[in-house]
Chains A and B, each alone.
Chain A
Amino acid sequence: MMRIGRGTVVLLLVLAASGCATRHGAGSSPTAAASPTLSAPSPSTRESQAPTRTELPPGFPVMSGAEPAKLPADVTVVARWTVPVVGSAAYDFYSGALPDAGYAIVGSYPSERAALIRFRDPAGQIWQLVAELIGDGTRITIQTDRP
């Protein structure tokens, strides 16, 4: 897994500017590799000694209309964006798009305000995708696996 250099913290986030600029039909899945990068705030010197974020897995599918969202301080969160839909659209999209992109789903946990999908990348690492209701849209977060 590639680590980001000390004091750098430029995240090669997935997000979607090209995906956002282009209208994709339903079911389309632009990928992380096709998207521009998103810079995170520069950390302090002290913070730079803390664990760094890992990259989003390459070729990760991104929903049409995705807009970058600010990352939290929690470095286990590796990518975040919002999509202008509510309900199960994001859950349904990723339930199909993840396997199609080579990520094996190891658990799906839908609920009322959010859904969580645990998936394994080709290297064997397990990740979590959280789709949650925020305002009138859905926030998608990719993070490393946790209980």
Chain B
Amino acid sequence: MIGRICIGLSFAVAVSLASASHALATDDYTLPFYDPSVPLSYGVDRDPRPCYQRDWANVLWADCNLHYGRVYDGHTGMDYPMPVVSPIAASRDGTVIDLFEGFGTEQFGINGNYVLVSHADGRRTLYYHLAQNGARVTVGQAVLAGQWIADSGCSGQCYGAHLHFEMRAVVGGRWTSVDPIFEKRFTTNPGRVPFLAAYLRESNSGSEVIMRYTTVTHWVEFLNAGGRTWRNNIGVGRVLLGTWNPPIRDSAFRAIDWPSSWVATNVDQSGVAPGAVGRFTFGLHAESPPGTYDEAFNVLANSLRWFDWARLGSFHVPIIVIANTRWGGPAG
């Protein structure tokens, strides 16, 4: 329990510190993957001159060298190192307007396999170097921010497996790559992965003693450490607390207020912005015989993605069921 709290709090503090000093974002893009440990390898070169590089922090480098974490000369997107076949997420709601997935890994070319998504704000996002047959969408398909759309790879011109994420906008009448970091296009600055939460606290020190045939109310609070706002009033993407280990498991402690046999509750608030705290309140009803139990839960963006359970401090509720001496039913 202590370990869970320490992990959660330290992560929450780190996220808060990282975001505290930055300006407000202007749009609602998120990083196009789920693993928050993925660093930026190189960003967009905003200076068109050869061997002059202007990075996302507006630093000018008058050379042709690689500047790790910053920029390399002539780069049009953002490179993120990741093992092949890592899940790639749509950075924002949109429609898939083109894709190619026929190249094998290491087949040399330029961009390799890709998915191109058009967004309502007039911009487009590109996801390059994908795995062979790595697209999980089709042309014309509507996608939601954070939706798993492809698997990463190393197709095309690729010196080490990575995702090349590129944003394009019409500038001066033609499509031009733009820098989403410098333009603050992410919902947070710096950008965050779409779905991430950090454990903060819960009721009754995180465990429950339940008299058999009765119900108790439990709550847990998580920091929204991702880039998407949590909502409880939408279908796809609704943020809920579901059973875990294994997921979508019928719970023996389902209370009458649960939306289904494996969904304990939706997030309490109608909107939990990035950096805010979401609470999940749910009942736990004991039908089981007296004994010691453990119920594991994880947060799910409905039909999109389970959250990283480890980042939730491996959230679970130890439960002790005791005999009900007041109940006239079966002996406890």
Identify the A interface with B (CB < 8 A). Answer: 86-88, 90-92, 95, 107-116, 118, 130-133, 138, 146-147
Contacts and interface: CB of A to CB of B under 8 A. Distances in A.
B161 A110 contact: yes
Q: Which DSSP category, helix, strand, loop or mixed, fits chain B's interface?
A: loop
Contact of B157 (A95, A112, A116, A147): A112
Contacts of B293: none
B67 A110 contact: no
A87 B70 CA distance: 22
21 contacts: A86-B108, A87-B108, A88-B159, A90-B159, A107-B39, A108-B81, A109-B81, A109-B160, A110-B81, A110-B158, A110-B160, A110-B162, A112-B75, A112-B79, A113-B157, A114-B66, A118-B68, A131-B159, A132-B159, A133-B157, A138-B159
A110 B81 CA distance: 6
Contacts, number: 80
Interface string B157-192: 111111010000000000000000000000000000
Nearest to A138: B159
Interface residues of B, number: 25
A113 B81 CA distance: 14
Contacts of B160: 88, 91-92, 95, 108-111, 115
B254 to A, nearest CB: 46
B41 to A, nearest CB: 4
Contacts of A87: 106, 108, 154, 157-159
Contacts of A131: 159
A88 B110 CA distance: 14
A92 to B, nearest CB: 7
Contacts of B158: 87-88, 110, 112
